[in-house]
Every structure is written in C-alpha cells, then in structure tokens.
Amino acid sequence: MDREKVDTFKYVREMNELLKDGGLFLVAEGRDKKPNAMTIGWGFLGTMWAKPVFVTAVRHSRHTYRLMEEAKSWTICVPSKGMAAALEFCGTKSGRDFDKFREMKLTAKKGVGVDAPYIEECPVHIECTTVFKTDMKPGQLEAGIEGEMYKTRDFHMLYFGEVKGVYAAKDAEKLV
C-alpha cells in the first residue's frame, strides 16, 4: 500500500474524535527490534518550537515506556473503522506477554522517514522523533485528577515528538 505525505493537520479533527472514543495506536520498538502497539486515548497534535509536534503520555509501568526510552522515533497510527478488536487488545494486553502484531494479524512496516514501524492496516500514520520529555510531578496537578488517575503514584512521562511527516494511504479519506 503506497502512502503519500499529507498536510500535518488534515486529519487532526478525526484523530481527536478517535482519542475521545476508540483510540489511536502508539507504535514503538526497542533495541530488540520487536514492534509493539499500545492503544492511547490521550494525546495532542499541535505546534511548538515552530515545528509540528505530537505529545503522548506513557506511564512508567508500561512495556511501551521502555521502548520509548530506547527508541528515538515512534509512530501514531490512525485505525480504520474495522479495527476495534485490535484497539481493544492493544489497550488491555501488555507487550511483555503478547506479540500484539502477531496476535492481531497486524503488519509492521518501517517508517517512510524514521526507523520506527507503523501499522500498515492503519490508513493514516504520523512519524515522530522525541525532542523533549518531561516527567509529571505530583503536586503540580489538580487534586481531583491526581486522586482519580494516580492512586498508585504511577505517573506519566510526557513525550514531545517532532512530526517528521503525516502519511496517508490512497483511500484514507474513506477509511478513517
């Protein structure tokens, strides 16, 4: 499936609607070169340092955390409408226990401009390289959110990835 580079913000509304309901995939591989996908419901596509940037949040306890620490690049993959089972699996199972690509029959393909793989079955994907990260600190957070989201003190690392390109399959507009 050939992909063309599209405007960074072409699918920003659809992506935000998916973050609210269903999710996107965060795909990374560590030094062992085993690709892994985690379903995310939190994220931001915007601009910082005069560059397009995607912000994603990963808890320290997650398998993906090690991969993000080892890899310089990662991708955000936008599912098509028929991928609910993969979103569910990748959002509830750990890459420590499962090869999610094999279990869900997903195809990992090397990024167009980065080393990180993307999911070929996803009609749109974003390629990013980490340019900034910051650990969330307790006490800087509104008390209600801290109580609800961080009962076990398992805070998030925020990764700011420079967007190197947004790529869409030819029929992406019909699929997203």
Question: φ, ψ for residue 152 (rounded to 5)?
Answer: -95, 10
Least Å distance between CB 131 and its own copies?
4
117: Cβ contacts below 8 Å, ≥ 6 apart:
27, 29, 35, 75, 108, 109, 110, 111
Least Å distance between CB 98 and its own copies?
25
**3-state class (DSSP) for residue 76:** strand
Task: Select 42 or 89, whichever has its Cβ closest to its own copies.
Answer: 42
Task: Select 2 or 142, whichever has its Cβ closest to its own copies.
Answer: 142
- The rounded distance, in Å, linking the Cα atoms of 126 and 54 is 9
CA triple 124-100-172, angle to 5 deg: 15
Task: Select 30 or 41, whichever has its Cβ closest to its own copies.
Answer: 41
Residue ranges in contact with its own copies by CB under 8 A: 8-10, 12-13, 16-17, 19-20, 41-53, 55, 57, 130-134, 136-137, 140-142, 145, 148-149, 158, 162
Least Å distance between CB 46 and its own copies?
3
**Residue 148 Cα distances to 21, 43, 47, 155, angstroms:** 20, 19, 29, 12
Least Å distance between CB 12 and its own copies?
5
Amino acid at 75: T
Task: Select 70 or 99, whichever has its Cβ closest to its own copies.
Answer: 70
Task: Select 57 or 120, whichever has its Cβ closest to its own copies.
Answer: 57
Least Å distance between CB 47 and its own copies?
5
